[in-house]
C-alpha cells in the first residue's frame, strides 16, 4: 500500500455516505438479545415526526452515539432504539395548514379521511428527521425503528389505559383544564408556556346588597366577571371584615353573589378583593369547590361568549367582549381605575394562542400514587440523575404534581378506548372494540371522540419499544435501559412520566441513569432563536465542515452542567483537527503500508526515548478517556484526545520518529514502524466514538487489520508495563531544552537555517545522563550544531539563557546574531508600539468615548491597551538583554 491509499485531502461527503450505507448493510448495530456481553441499552428521545434536526438534537445524538460506540468497544451487547413521536397537536396543525392552502378544512374532510391524510403526510415527510439523525452517524439499530403510533405501541397504549382505568388510576370527570381556543383541545399544565405581557389591571366596583357601599375588585380579565359566583377577601383584612357574609349584586348581570373569606386571597395584590370565577380560573375553581360555589361557564370552545351571559355579549370574541364590558362599566360609573400591568400569560406551546381555563369533561390519570413511587426510586439510588442539581427539581415537581389531563380534543392520536351505551349510559373501557353493552345488551355504542395526550404514549417508550405487553427477548435482555440522555426541558413532560409508568407496569425503573445535557447557545451565550437570527444549522455545518468536525466540537464543549457557547469558527477549528488526523495518517502510511515487524512493544520502547514516551502516554490516554466517558465528562475525553494527538503525537513523536524512519538502522526503523502503527491504530479506535467517519476511512487503509469494521473493534487493551514515569520525565526535559532554544531563536529573530550551539548546566547527574543520551535528538529537533550538558557547564560569554525545567540553558550568540541590526529592529518595533499605545490611551482617556461607546467596544480597547503595554515591556526587556550581551563580547 502506498501513500496514495488516502487521498491528498479529506472529503467528508463521499466518505460519510459510504460508511453509513456499509454499517447499515452489515447490520453492525443490530444486537442479538441472546448474544454475549452485558446488555447496554438506550432509547432515543423520539423527535417529533414533524421535526427537523437542530443543534440540541445534534448534541443529544452525539452524546448517545459516543456512549453506544464506546460500550460496544468494551464488549457490551448494545441496543440503541430509534424512533419518532406522532406529535398529536403539532402534526395535526401541519396537515390542517396544508389543507387550508387547498381551501379545505378537516371538518369538511371528516375524521376518517383526515386521519388517512395525516398518515399519508407521515409516510411522505415523517422520515426526514430520522434521515438527518442517520447522517450524524448515529449507531442505532435501524431494524428496530419504532413510531409512537405503530401497531405495537398502539397495543401497549391501550393495555396501559385499560389497566389504569381498572385500577382506579384513570377517571373521567368535569374539571378545569387549560384550553387552547385555536387548537380546540385541552393542554396539560406542562404544555402551557408563560410569556410576559403588558396588560391592564381593571378596578371594578361591585355594589353591596342593601347599602350604598361598594367593594372594589381588581382583575386583568373583566369579561370573565359575567361568570362570577362570589367575591373573596382575606379573613384578617380589616378593610373588608364588615362585608364578610353579605352579598354583592354582580354588575352587568344582576346576579346576587356572596362575599366570602379565605386565606388564599393576597391582601397586597390589587385592592385585596378578589372576584371568583370558578369556570375560568384554575385557582378560582379550587376556591369554588372549597366553598361550594356554582360553576358558570360564559365562554365556548372558541373563546366566544355563550348563552350563560347576558344576550348583548353573546357571540362576541373574548377580547371584543372585554372591550364591551369595560365600556359599559364606564357608562355605569363602576370602573374605578385602569392601570398598566405586566404579568405572565399562559400560551399554547404549539400555536402561541393565549390559553383559557375551561371546565369540561376530561380523562385524568391519578398521579399521586405513581409520583410517590417515582420519587422513591431516585431517593434510594435505583435511578441517578446527572448533574445532581436536577434531582431537587425532579423532587419538587413530583411533590407538587396535579392529576394529569390526558384527553385531547383532536383527531390525530391514540383514540381513547371508551364507549358509552346510547340506551343506558353505561361507560365501557375495553382492550377490544365492544359490540354490545355489558349492562343492557344494547348494540348502539358511541366511542369517546378524544385522543390521548402524545406524552401518554411517550411515557411507555422504554418498554413499549422493546415489545411490551408481550414478554419479548428484547424486553428481558434490555430493560431496564442503561441511561437516558435528554434535555432539561422535558424532565417533567417525559422523564418523570416514564419513571411513573415503568415502575408501575414493569416494577423496575426504566433507566438506571438520566444524563441531562446542557443547552447549545450562540458564541455570546444567548439562546439560539430564529427571531434573533443566531441559529447555527447543524445540517449546514455538516455539509460545510464535515460531520466529524461538528460532533467533536459539541463533545469538546459538553462539560457537565455548563451550557455550550458555539460558533462556526469553533467548528471550523475542529475541521483543522480532522485534517491534522488525516495528514498524520497519510504520513504514517507512507512508512507502514507494508505493515510493521512483529515486535513486543516493551522491546520497541527501548529503541528510543520518543517510543517509550509515546507508548507510556498512550496507556494513560486509554485510562483517562475511558474514565471520562464513563463519568459523562465528554469534554475532558475530547480534550485529552486532542492534546495527545496534536501536541504529543504530531508535534513531538512524529518529528522524532522521522530520524529512525529515514535512517539506515533496520532495527530502529522496525521499532519505529511498530510503535507508529500501534499508536495510530489505538488512537483511531479511541477517537472512533467521537469521529466515526474519518477514523473508519483511515482504518480501512491500515495494513494487517483483522477486523475491517472499526465499529466492531474492541477498546485498546491495557499494557500497564509500558507506563514509564522516567521516560515521560526525560521527555519533558528534552522538550524544555528544545522549546528553550526555539524561543531564543524566535525572540532574537535568528534565521531558522543558522545552526546554533546549546549548553545545559544541571545539578542532577541523572538529568545530565538523560540529556547526553538524547543529545543527537535534541540537536535534530532544535537545529543545533553542537549540544553539551553536564554538571560542570558554565555560561559562555555573550550567550542567551533560559530555564529548561530545573536546568539552565545557554545559547552562545556571537556570530549568530548581528546585535546592532537587532537593536535597530527592536527600536523600530518599540517606536511603532508606543505610537499605537498612545492612540489607545488617548481614546480611553476621553470620558465621552468611555461613557457613550458600547461596553464591548470599550472592553476591546482596554484589552488592546494591556496587550500593547505587555508587548512594549517585552521589547524593552529584550533590548536590555542584547545590550548586556554586547557588553559581554
Residue 361 near residue 173, CB atoms below 8 Å: yes
Mean pLDDT (the chain) is 92
Q: Given this model, what pLDDT does residue 3 score?
A: 37
Q: Given this model, what pLDDT does residue 1 score?
A: 33
Q: The C-alpha cell of 839 is what?
A: 492612540
CATH of domain 820-888: 1.10.287
Q: Given this model, what pLDDT does residue 282 score?
A: 84
What confidence tens digit (pLDDT) does each residue in 94-150 have?
Answer: 998 899 899 998 889 999 999 999 999 999 988 899 999 999 999 999 999 999 999
Among 3.40.50.620, 3.40.50.10470, 3.40.50.2300, 3.40.50.970, what is the CATH number of 31-158+458-517? 3.40.50.620
Domain residue spans of the chain = 31-158+458-517, 185-357, 416-449, 563-723, 728-817, 820-888
What confidence tens digit (pLDDT) does each residue in 434-466 have?
Answer: 999 999 999 999 999 999 999 999 999 999 999
Is residue 372 marked as binding? no
Q: Given this model, what pLDDT does residue 267 score?
A: 86
Number of neighbours of residue 679 by Cβ within 10 angstroms: 26
> d(Cα 168, Cα 162) in Å, to the nearest integer?
10
Residues with Cβ within 8 Å of 585's Cβ and at least 6 positions away in sequence, in order, are: 6, 680, 684, 698, 701
Q: Given this model, what pLDDT does residue 888 score?
A: 67
Q: Is 589 exposed, middle or buried (0-12, 13-18, 19+ CB in 10 A)?
A: buried
Residue 696 near residue 713, CB atoms below 8 Å: no
Q: The C-alpha cell of 722 is what?
A: 509500558
Name the DSSP class of 664: S
| β-sheet bridge partners, residue 84 | 147
Nearest partner of 410 among 147, 187, 177, 172, judged by Cα = 187
Q: At what angle do helices 725-747 and 775-782 cross, to 10 degrees?
A: 40
Q: Give the residues of the chain that fall short of pLDDT 50.
A: 1-4
Residue 800 near residue 880, CB atoms below 8 Å: no
| pTM of the model as a whole | 0.84
Q: Within a 13 Å sphere around the CA of 25, how many CA atoms are in the beta-carbon half? A: 7
Q: Given this model, what pLDDT does residue 889 score?
A: 60
Q: Alpha helices, DSSP H only, in 557-633?
A: 568-592, 601-605, 609-630
> d(Cα 81, Cα 215) in Å, to the nearest integer?
62
Give the β-pairing of 256-261 and 407-408: unpaired
Helices (H) and strands (E) in the chain, counts: 30, 29
Q: The C-alpha cell of 618 is what?
A: 498512550
> d(Cα 253, Cα 829) in Å, to the nearest integer?
87
563-723: in CATH 1.10.730.10: yes
Q: Is 320 exposed, middle or buried (0-12, 13-18, 19+ CB in 10 A)?
A: middle
Question: What is the per-residue DSSP string for 418-482?
Answer: EEEETTT--EEE-SS--SS-TTT----EEE---EE-HHHHHTTHHHHTTTTTS--HHHHHH-SEE
Preceding omega of 277 cis (within 30 degrees of 0): no
| β-sheet bridge partners, residue 335 | 204
185-357: in CATH 3.90.740.10: yes
Amino acid at each position: 500500500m502506498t501513500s496514495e491509499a488516502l487521498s491528498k485531502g479529506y472529503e467528508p461527503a463521499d466518505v460519510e455516505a459510504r460508511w453509513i450505507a456499509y454499517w447499515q448493510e452489515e447490520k453492525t448495530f443490530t444486537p442479538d438479545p441472546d448474544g454475549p456481553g452485558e446488555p447496554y441499552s438506550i432509547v432515543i428521545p423520539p423527535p417529533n415526526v414533524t421535526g427537523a434536526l437542530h443543534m440540541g438534537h445534534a448534541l443529544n445524538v452525539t452524546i448517545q452515539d459516543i456512549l453506544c460506540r464506546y460500550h460496544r468497544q468494551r464488549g457490551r451487547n448494545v441496543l440503541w432504539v430509534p424512533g419518532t413521536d406522532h406529535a398529536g397537536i403539532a402534526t395535526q396543525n401541519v396537515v390542517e395548514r396544508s389543507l387550508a392552502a387547498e381551501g379545505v378544512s378537516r371538518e369538511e374532510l371528516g375524521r376518517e379521511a383526515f386521519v388517512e391524510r395525516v398518515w399519508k403526510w407521515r409516510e411522505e415527510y415523517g422520515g426526514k428527521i430520522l434521515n438527518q439523525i442517520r447522517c450524524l452517524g448515529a449507531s442505532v439499530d435501524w431494524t428496530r425503528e419504532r413510531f409512537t403510533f405503530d401497531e405495537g405501541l398502539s397495543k401497549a397504549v391501550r393495555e396501559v389505559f385499560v389497566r389504569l382505568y381498572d385500577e382506579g388510576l384513570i377517571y373521567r370527570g368535569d374539571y378545569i383544564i387549560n384550553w387552547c381556543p385555536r387548537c380546540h383541545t385541552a393542554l396539560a399544565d406542562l404544555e402551557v408556556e408563560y410569556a410576559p405581557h403588558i396588560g391592564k389591571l381593571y378596578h371594578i366596583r361591585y355594589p353591596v346588597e342593601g347599602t350604598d357601599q361598594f367593594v372594589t375588585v381588581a382583575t386583568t380579565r373583566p369579561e370573565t366577571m359575567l361568570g362570577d359566583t362570589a367575591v373573596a377577601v382575606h379573613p384578617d383584612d380589616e378593610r373588608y371584615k364588615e362585608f364578610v357574609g353579605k352579598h354583592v349584586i354582580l354588575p352587568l348581570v344582576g346576579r346576587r353573589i356572596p362575599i366570602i373569606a379565605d386565606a388564599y386571597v393576597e391582601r397586597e395584590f390589587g385592592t385585596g378583593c378578589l372576584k371568583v370565577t370558578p369556570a375560568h380560573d384554575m385557582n378560582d375553581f379550587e376556591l369554588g369547590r372549597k366553598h361550594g360555589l356554582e360553576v358558570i361557564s360564559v365562554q365556548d370552545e372558541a373563546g366566544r361568549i355563550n348563552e350563560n351571559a347576558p344576550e348583548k355579549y353573546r357571540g362576541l370574541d373574548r377580547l371584543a367582549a372585554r372591550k364591551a364590558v369595560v365600556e359599559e362599566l364606564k357608562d355605569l360609573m363602576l370602573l374605578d381605575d385602569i392601570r398598566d400591568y405586566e404579568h405572565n400569560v399562559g400560551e399554547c406551546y404549539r400555536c402561541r394562542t393565549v390559553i383559557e381555563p375551561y371546565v369540561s369533561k376530561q380523562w385524568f390519570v391519578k398521579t399521586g400514587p405513581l409520583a410517590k413511587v417515582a420519587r422513591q426510586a431516585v431517593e434510594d439510588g435505583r435511578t441517578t440523575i446527572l448533574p445532581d442539581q436536577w434531582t431537587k427539581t425532579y423532587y419538587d415537581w413530583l411533590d407538587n404534581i396535579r392529576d394529569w389531563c390526558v384527553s385531547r380534543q383532536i383527531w390525530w392520536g391514540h383514540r381513547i378506548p371508551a364507549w358509552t351505551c346510547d340506551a343506558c349510559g353505561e361507560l365501557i373501557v375495553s382492550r377490544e372494540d365492544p359490540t354490545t353493552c355489558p349492562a343492557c345488551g344494547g348494540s348502539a355504542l358511541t366511542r369517546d371522540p378524544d385522543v390521548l395526550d402524545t406524552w401518554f404514549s411517550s411515557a411507555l417508550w422504554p418498554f413499549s419499544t422493546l415489545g411490551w405487553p408481550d414478554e419479548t427477548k428484547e424486553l428481558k435482555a434490555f430493560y431496564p435501559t442503561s441511561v437516558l440522555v435528554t434535555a432539561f426541558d422535558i424532565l417533567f413532560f417525559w422523564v418523570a412520566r416514564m419513571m411513573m409508568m415503568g415502575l408501575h407496569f414493569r416494577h423496575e425503573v426504566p433507566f438506571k441513569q438520566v444524563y441531562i445535557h446542557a443547552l447549545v447557545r450562540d458564541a455570546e451565550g444567548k439562546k439560539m432563536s430564529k427571531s434573533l437570527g443566531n441559529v447555527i444549522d447543524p445540517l449546514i455545518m455538516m455539509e460545510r465542515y464535515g460531520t466529524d468536525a461538528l460532533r467533536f466540537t459539541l463533545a469538546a464543549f459538553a462539560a457537565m452542567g455548563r451550557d455550550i457557547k458555539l460558533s462556526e469558527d469553533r467548528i471550523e477549528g475542529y475541521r483543522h483537527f480532522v485534517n491534522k488526523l488525516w495528514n498524520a495518517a497519510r504520513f504514517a502510511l507512507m512508512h507502514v503500508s507494508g505493515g510493521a515487524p512483529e515486535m513486543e512493544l516493551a522491546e520497541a520502547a527501548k529503541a528510543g526515548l520518543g517510543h517509550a514516551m509515546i507508548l507510556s502516554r498512550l496507556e494513560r490516554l486509554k485510562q483517562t478517556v475511558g474514565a471520562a466517558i464513563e463519568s459523562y465528562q465528554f469534554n475532558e475525553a475530547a480534550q485529552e484526545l486532542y492534546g495527545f494527538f496534536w501536541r504529543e503525537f504530531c508535534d513531538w513523536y512524529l518529528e522524532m520518529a522521522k530520524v529512525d524512519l529515514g535512517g539506515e538502522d533496520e532495527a530502529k526503523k522496525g521499532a519505529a514502524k511498530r510503535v507508529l502503527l500501534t499508536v495510530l491504530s489505538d488512537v483511531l479506535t479511541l477517537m472512533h466514538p467521537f469521529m466515526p467517519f474519518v477514523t473508519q476511512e483511515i482504518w480501512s487503509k491500515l495494513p494487517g487489520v483483522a477486523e475491517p469494521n472499526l465499529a466492531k473493534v474492541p477498546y485498546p487493551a491495557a499494557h500497564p508495563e509500558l507506563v514509564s514515569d522516567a521516560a515521560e520525565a526525560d521527555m519533558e526535559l528534552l522538550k524544555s531544552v528544545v522549546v528553550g532554544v526555539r524561543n531564543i531563536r524566535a525572540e532574537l529573530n535568528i534565521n531558522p537555517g543558522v545552526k546554533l550551539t546549546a549548553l545545559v548546566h544541571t545539578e542532577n547527574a541523572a538529568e545530565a545522563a538523560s540529556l547526553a543520551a538524547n543529545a543527537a535528538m535534541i540537536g535534530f529537533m532544535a537545529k543545533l550544531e553542537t549540544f553539551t550538558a553536564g554538571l560542570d557547564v558554565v555560561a559562555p560569554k555573550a550567550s542567551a539563557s533560559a530555564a529548561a525545567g530545573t536546568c539552565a540553558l545557554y545559547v552562545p550568540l556571537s556570530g549568530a546574531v548581528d546585535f546592532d541590526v537587532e537593536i535597530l529592529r527592536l527600536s523600530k518595533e518599540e517606536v511603532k508600539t508606543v505610537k499605537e499605545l498612545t492612540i489607545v490611551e488617548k481614546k480611553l482617556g476621553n470620558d465621552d468615548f468611555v461613557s457613550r461607546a458600547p461596553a464591548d467596544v470599550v472592553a476591546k480597547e482596554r484589552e488592546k491597551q494591556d496587550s500593547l503595554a505587555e508587548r512594549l515591556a517585552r521589547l524593552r526587556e529584550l533590548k536590555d538583554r542584547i545590550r548586556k550581551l554586547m557588553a559581554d563580547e
